[in-house]
Amino acid sequence: QKFVYDFTEGNRDLKDLLGGKGANLAEMTNLGLPVPPGFTITTEACKTYLDSGDEPKELRDEVSAHLDALERTMGKKLGQADDPLLVSVRSGAKFSMPGMMDTVLNIGLSDKSVKGLAAQSGDERFAWDSYRRLIQMFGKTVLDVDGDLFEEALEAAKKAKKVTVDTDLDAAELKKLVTKFKKIVKAEAGRDFPQDPREQMDLAIKAVFDSWNGDRAKLYRRQERIPHDLGTAVNICSMVFGNLGPDSGTGVAFTRDPASGHQGVYGDYLQNAQGEDVVAGIRNTVPLAELESIDKKSYDQLMEIMETLETHYKDLCDIEFTIERGQLWMLQTRVGKRTAGAAFRIATQLVDQGLIDEAEALQRVNGAQLAQLMFPRFDETTSVDTIGRGIAASPGAAVGKAVFDSYTAIKWSRSGEKVILIRRETNPDDLDGMIAAEGILTSRGGKTSHAAVVARGMGKTCVCGAEDLEVDTKQRRMTAPGGLVVEEGDVVSIDGSSGKVYLGEVPVVPSPVVEYFEGRMHAGADDADELVAAVHRIMAYADRVRRLRVRANADNAEDALRARRFGAQGIGLCRTEHMFLGERREMVEKLILADTDNERETALEQLLPLQKKDFVELFEAMDGLPVTVRLLDPPLHEFLPDITELSVRVALAESRQDANENDLRLLQAVHRLHEQNPMLGLRGVRLGLVIPGLFTMQVRAIAEAAAERKKANGDPRAEIMIPLVGTVQELELVRDDAEQVLAEVQKETGVDLKLALGTMIELPRAALTAGQIAEAAEFFSFGTNDLTQTVWGFSRDDVEASFFTAYLEKGIFGVSPFETIDKDGVGKLVRDAVEAGRATRPDLKLGVCGEHGGDPESVHFFHEVGLDYVSCSPFRIPVARLEAGRASA
Ligand code: ADP
Ligand code: MG
Ligand code: MG
């Protein structure tokens, strides 16, 4: 096994082994770009070190051999007294992990070699500046000295000289600073700053290895779902110097604008500076375009290199470079991060440039980005100042009055006010307040905090961990940096996509992408339309290649029409329970309270025409497309008054001795129907089997509606779906009744009705006996919400707010199984049921109608297991179409 690779030996496909930085340094080297020579220690070496607590024994020799070679190439030895070779020791994992470990520059400098460097460069100031930087970085990252101590000493030196920037310190002052820094190291680390260059290098390498298991790194990996066992590579790179005077400098650049995707010159440059100076904001950088007038030759070369990189990587790249006395060096490149809008634009631009094809363009965007583009947003043209910024935990733009407790949130929202619930952090007691609020803002906690998890589950805007904002719930106020106070009742605006918090009302504008899907906007020339045009093209690619069809979960004509505009190819789940609410509730009560067949039939007869009318409208809206109607599913008590409220009402009435007969009967019924676990109680197909006439009434309403539409020359495609089936016997009983009703309606109306009858697969038993159930079902629709609840044995309504945050933090799951399908458990049942169902009935139609139908990762899974369609809420349809396309491409 080889643990060390020269930059000339690697390439960009070796990211697992060489880390992202190392692989790309090698790639650039092999492209003939000016990369300072160096080598990379593999992630395997790191893993061995972390597993055994010791470096692999071959490592030291391999490093020595590569260092020898490097010294020969450079014509000088590491730390050589009269002319030292200096190197940087840089961490670099497969995925970039900001904040994990800083790089150490200028390794090889010592009390002796600093003089050699001064003599060789003819610049004493430069040599001492490099040395103080080494001690500072080494002290902080390798020896764990508090970095502020160095910063304070540097500040003090500047103050003493009455200057504001580090470049105004001269050689003598920097030399004094070095002495000071060495004292800090000795005092804090209990050892001298090492003078032996190889010892410096070896300690730095070990520090990089160790940083993989630092707290920050672990936390970051958990949040970003990066596996803990990858390890980091270490890059040893010979130093080039941007701090050699005004003809030197360092900069960062993008090959195109990561915000808009436009081609052009984007980046920052800083003269006479090293490493991180350019992003650390210690001095003012200049726009990259100004480099042209500072150093035309390097600028032209840089432009040429950026062109080469874009054509080579076929994507937007970001780069780090340094100019040493007019000589340009490339220090890093990678495919750059970009905004959601830019991702769509860049993908289509690259297609137009002939760099990528349509299938590749689909891989350059994703459903999460599309979803982000569909949220309403704050109008950026209005100028309202931000008062703080936190973590963008759940997207959206929310405006409301600040409240600092859930009670007030509920009270105010009941009286019609929009509120933003502001807490230091939330806990399960805040749930009602969170539901009542437009948005949630917390000053503590990260992406897996209670507020973040619950808000995402509810689809509610949330900014969390805005640490600049001091929340005082007792005083009902929040203090922003600078002392600005936000009192209860003041209007605040929060942006869950950027994490920004504003005082006052920021106007909200609809997303142009939604305007486009709604048919209210078309491709044109201004900025928003450019995005729309890109989305339009990408969606067309996706639709062309996808195998999965996409349907909507919709219960009424209005939603159905919107779903159609968004591209739905039918309705996968029409819940009929809403048709039992409102003024119809009374009829349902009568149905439940009916003592005699006669009473029951009367109640059902009243409901029939109302149901039928709903279906006629729905079939008309979805004319020509399938509409899966689910028969009544929820437990009956949901249609009855709340048990406590009713008990109180009856008790009060009784004390006045005027209790009414109906209330008394209702209360009895409520008691009779009360269940400890309604989710596992009398619901779904069980209702159909114990309440005579209920399901047949619904089937009749569907059939009559279909017949009416046909007579009106429509093309209704109704499908009847039985919920919560656990065994084929249940289905057979319902099926017999339903077929009889269909035959009756056919006879009465003279219309030929062929309606498919199928079932939901949402109980483990149904999935396990899918082969039998398929005998009686023409289609399956996987109800993955209930299936997740029953497979895991937890109730969604309770657990997300109680222990999910703990589970996420402990890494038991990376994401809620209600958000993304649990492939190993729930997914396995789906996979097996698909196979068993198709074995029984090869033309069995298969779909999914849980929340997962609109979740990007889950859509890929459903594609892979061979479902025919996914069904999701109307707003998720574009996301599902896109992801279905990406899964096929
Ligand atoms: P990060 O991953 O945090 O960007 P890097 O390893 O890229 O860390 O290095 C930090 C800074 O030091 C960057 O600005 C980089 O360009 C600079 N740097 C790293 N190695 C060298 C080198 N050999 N010569 C000059 N500058 C370097
Ligand atoms: Mg870097
Ligand atoms: Mg269900």
Can you give the pLDDT at residue 528?
66
- Catalytic member of 46, 317, 849, 872: 849
pLDDT number for residue 696: 96
Among residues 66, 450, 637, 852, the one annotated as catalytic is: 450
Whether 849 sits among the annotated catalytic residues: the reply is: yes
Q: Please give the distance, rounded to the nearest whole angstrom, from the Cα atom of residue 540 to the centre of ligand 3.
A: 33
Q: Using the mean position of ligand 1's atoms as its centre, give its distance from the Cα of residue 763 in Å.
A: 55
pTM: 0.86
Nearest CA owner, ligand 1 atom 3: 102
Please give the distance, rounded to the nearest whole angstrom, from the Cα atom of residue 320 to the centre of ligand 1: 8
Q: Which bound ligand lies closest to the C-alpha atom of 334?
A: 2
**Could you state, in chain order, the average pLDDT of each consecutive group of 10 residues for the chain (889 residues)?**
96 96 98 98 96 90 97 96 96 82 90 96 94 96 94 94 90 96 97 97 95 83 81 96 93 89 89 83 86 97 96 95 96 91 94 96 96 88 84 91 95 94 89 92 85 81 92 94 93 93 92 91 71 95 98 94 96 91 83 87 93 96 98 87 85 85 84 86 94 94 97 97 98 97 96 95 98 98 96 86 82 86 97 98 96 95 98 94 97
Rounded to an integer, what distance in angstroms lies between the CA atom of residue 289 and that of residue 873?
Answer: 47
Specify the CATH superfamily of domain 546-576+606-634+692-888. Answer: Phosphoenolpyruvate-binding domains (3.20.20.60)
Q: Give the pairing of strands 391-394 and 397-403.
A: unpaired
ipTM of the complex: 0.96
Which ligand lies nearest to the CA atom of residue 22 in the structure? 1
* Distance (Å) from CA 125 to ligand 1 centroid: 21
Q: Whose CA is nearest to atom 26 of ligand 1?
A: 275
Residue having the nearest C-alpha atom to atom 15 of ligand 1: 275
- Domain boundaries of the chain, sorted by first residue: 67-235, 249-335, 376-509, 546-576+606-634+692-888
Q: What phi and psi, each to the nearest 5 degrees, are found at residue 573?
A: -150, 110
Crossing angle of helices 197-211 and 124-141, rounded to 10°: 40
Mutation test residue for ligand 1: of 86, 88, 234, 277, the one with most atoms within 8 Å of CB = 88
CATH class for the domain made up of 376-509 = alpha beta
- The CATH architecture assigned to 67-235 reads Up-down Bundle (1.20)
Task: Note the CATH number of domain 249-335.
Answer: 3.30.470.20
Please answer whether residues 233 and 41 qualify as being in contact, where contact means their C-beta atoms are separated by less than 8 angstroms. yes
- Nearest residue CA, atom 8 of ligand 1? 103
Q: Of all atoms in ligand 1, which is nearest to the CA of residue 241?
A: 25
Best of 78, 103, 276 for a ligand 1 pocket test (most atoms within 8 Å of beta carbon): 103
DSSP assignment string, 217-260: HHHHHHHHT--TT--EEEEEEE---S-SSTT-EEEEEEEE-TTT
Residue 859 CA to ligand 3 center (angstroms) comes to 19
* Cα 329 from Cα 342, distance rounded (Å): 28
Ligand positioned closest to the Cα atom of 850 = 3
Distance 98 CA to ligand 2 centre (A): 10
Measured from the Cα of 238, ligand 1's closest atom is: 23
Question: What pLDDT is stored for residue 524 in this prediction?
Answer: 64
H or E element in which residue 420 lies: strand 419-423
Protein residue whose Cα sits closest to atom 27 of ligand 1: 275
List, chain by chain if needed, residues with CB within 6 Å of any ligand 1 atom: 36, 88, 90, 103, 105, 237-240, 275-276, 320, 322, 331-332
Q: Which atom of ligand 1 is nearest to the CA of 90?
A: 6
Q: Is 450 a catalytic residue?
A: yes
Q: Which ligand is nearest to the CA of 761?
A: 3
Q: Residue 402: phi, psi to the nearest 5?
A: -70, 125
CA of 143 to the centre of ligand 3 (A): 57
- Tokens standing for 823? 């492939």
Mutate to test the pocket of ligand 1, among 90, 212, 318, 327 (most ligand atoms within 8 A of CB): 90
Residue 100's pLDDT is what?
Answer: 67
The residue contributing the CA closest to ligand 1 atom 24 is: 239
Identify the pLDDT of residue 525. Answer: 55
Q: Using alpha carbons, select from 273, 275, 244 the residue that is nearest to residue 122.
A: 244
User: Cα dist. 304→310, 311, 319 in Å?
Assistant: 10, 11, 13
Instruction: Provide the pLDDT for residue 1.
Output: 87
- Are the CB atoms for 695 and 734 separated by under 8 Å? yes
Decide if 93 contacts 232 (C-beta within 8 A): yes
Atom 9 of ligand 1: nearest residue by CA position: 103
pLDDT score of 887:
97
Ligand 1 nearest-atom number relative to CA 278 = 14
C-alpha dihedral (659, 660, 666, 672), degrees to nearest 10? 50
Q: State which ligand 1 atom lies nearest to the alpha carbon of 102.
A: 3
Residue 527 has a pLDDT of 64
DSSP 8-state symbol, 813:
-
Distance 854 CA to ligand 3 centre (A): 16
Atom of ligand 1 nearest to the CA of 320: 16
**The pLDDT value given to residue 276:** 79
Give the 3-state DSSP-derived string for 617-653, with helices as H, strands as E and coil as C: HHHHHCCCCEEEEECCCCCHHHHCCCHHHHHHHHHHH
Atom of ligand 1 at shortest distance to CA of 36?
23
